[in-house]
Amino acid sequence: MSYPIRILHLDDDVNDSELVKAELEADGLACTLRRAETKEEFLAVLQQGNVDLILSDFTLPLFNGGEALSLARETYPEVPFVFFTGTLTEETGVEALKTGATDYVLKNRPARLGQAVRRALREADAQRERKKTDERIQYLAYHDALTGLGNQVFFREHCSQMLATAERDSSPAGLILLNLNRFKDVTTALGRQYGDWLLQQVTARLRQAAPAGVGLARIGGDEFITFLSGDKATVVSLAQSLCHVLEDHPLRLGDLSLDVRCTIGLALFPEHGADPETLLQRAEVALTHAKATHVSSLCYDRTQERFTPDHLRLLGELTQAVTLGHLVLYHQPKISLKTARVVGVEALVRWRHPGRGLLSPEQFIPLAEKTGLVKPLTQWAIAEGLRALRAWLDQGLPLTLSLNISTACLLEEAFTDHVTALIESSGCPPASITLEVTESCLMADPARALACLSSLHRLKVRLAVDDFGTGYSSLAYLKDLPVDELKIDKSFTLNLIKNRKDAAVVRAATDLGHSLGLEVTAEGVEDQQTWHGLIAVGCDTAQGYLMGKPMPATDFSAWVRTPPYGAGS
């Protein structure tokens, strides 16, 4: 309520206006009155605005109070309307309230006017607050409170509308999903408030780059999305603009200057989907693949899919396979290149699927690694491998057992304790066990990986770096790892004889391993020329189909006693 109260008084008698002003001021209500007699005068004052209250006679020579009420409700419904008249009966007064009047006061009872005005203004204030609250609720239903951008509800409705238009017009469109790189590092190092400031500054930059009419939304902590009409070139161009506007200049967070990078996934209509949910899922797949391949943006391609509905079915069946005993270990022999004798085996998991037959690790381990299932699967493989090793040792076969360890297991705090308990219960010497980890596994969290490897090394367990040459580990880091063996990836070994570059890699890896005091094993040996080539470069041991394919433990027990590579030769 403003003071003085600005009143539009519709009355043909100037004395009544003076009476109104005197009554209100006597009641402690300061006011200004603008009087109107005709419809034209009434509308002119009303349209000027700045009216807190309308007081109106009901019957005028040139105008009608009922018509004035109707006009006021059409143009300014929030302004309270009180009849101050001598011609209303109780029946017509109630009817006036039903049609939108706030109150009515008879002129022969002017002392009641102040009370009616106060109540009308209070109700108007309350109504305005309710309206603000409703508008705020409506706004928050479709917008992100922190950035002011649309939220997921806004995105889905906006996207659905644009898809309907695109489908009707047979025109292309595209979805852009943007994720900030290392945003969590900012909130962890500086606090959530700095993260909020960063998101607000990012929002301002994205608004700057987005063309007029292109709706932006924030659908997650550090995920932004937009949907626009246009062909692939148009969508890619906007994606590049969004990247550039963030990366061209650092953002300021207090005294800090912060370089911001992002990753973008794109999905196109109609080739990648025809509804918001499908397009968003495809853009998320593209974004995930872009992060994995270290590029700033990618458009969806079905080859990027790792979790199709068929994969999800397989994952559910894998959960049961672990408990129902459908998993089995196969063992591939490891041969000394110096003696041509079996010195160990690598245990490899296979799945005897009741409907799909024998499945290799490539068909289900990636699924298990994306869930917590890889941990119980690994513990089962270690226990089963140790059981087989114990039997071979009891038969007088001096073998070592190699087992593959996933990133999730290596970074688990209790992993060393699990391994210790399994080894102790098996009765196998720790030195007869080799745990293999990949370069990418080591680099996922180098500090934690080093801590886990160090604790395993103290158990006297042997450690190997698997698939060497395919990852991103630095030599500076490698030299500090407590490992005993390097395994050269088969992608280099397979073309050892035919490709000079692959031969150079194998030779360099062998020399590197020996200079660090490590045993060097080559995988993927499939012919005699490769066998002799590895001997020539000084490699220590080898695995491959030339010597033996992975086989069940019972088959291996027979094979290991048979020449040319078995102990019986």
C-alpha span between 129 and 136 (Å, rounded): 10
Domain spanning 334-340+378-548, CATH architecture: Alpha-Beta Barrel (3.20)
Strand pairing report for 433-438 and 400-404: parallel
pLDDT at 471: 56
**Would you identify the CATH topology of the domain 5-140?**
Rossmann fold (3.40.50)
Map out the domains of the chain as residue ranges.
5-140, 152-304, 334-340+378-548
Whole-model pTM? Answer: 0.54
pLDDT in the model for residue 77: 87
Per residue in 71-89, pLDDT (tens digit) is 888 888 889 999 988 877 7
Q: pLDDT value at position 189?
A: 81
Tell me: the pLDDT tens digits for 140-182? Answer: 888 888 999 998 888 889 999 999 999 999 999 999 999 999 8
Distance of alpha carbon 508 from alpha carbon 522, whole angstroms = 13
CA trace torsion 356, 360, 366, 370 (10° rounding): 60
Burial 228-262 (b: 16+ CB within 10 A, else e): bbbeeeebbebbeebbebbeeeebebeeeebebeb
Mind listing the pLDDT tens digit for each residue in 89-104? 777 788 888 888 888 8
Exposure string of 414-450, with b = 16+ CB inside 10 Å and e = fewer, is ebbebbeebbeebebebebbbbbbbbebbeeeeeebe
Residue 318 pLDDT: 83
pLDDT, position 1? 55
According to the model, what pLDDT value does residue 569 have? 35
In CATH, what is the architecture of 152-304?
2-Layer Sandwich (3.30)
Grouped pLDDT means (10 residues each) for the chain, 569 residues: 82 88 88 89 86 88 86 88 84 83 87 89 88 82 88 90 93 95 84 89 92 88 92 94 90 81 94 92 89 87 68 76 87 95 95 89 80 86 95 93 90 89 95 89 77 91 85 61 91 89 91 93 94 95 94 91 60
Q: Label residues 458-489 b or e (16+ Cβ within 10 Å = b).
A: eeebbbbbbbbbeeebeeeebeebebbbbbbb
Terminal CA-CA length for the chain: 104
CA atoms lying within 13 Å on the CB side of residue 229: 15
> Hey, what amino acid is at 113?
L
Q: Residue 520 in contact with residue 540, Cβ under 8 Å?
A: yes
pLDDT at 444: 67
Six-digit token pair at 418?
Answer: 């699990």
Backbone conformation region of residue 148, classed left if phi is above 0, alpha if psi is from -120 to 50, else beta: left
Which tens digit of pLDDT belongs to each residue from 436-448?
A: 998 777 776 778 8
Q: Which residue has the tokens 């048979």?
A: 562
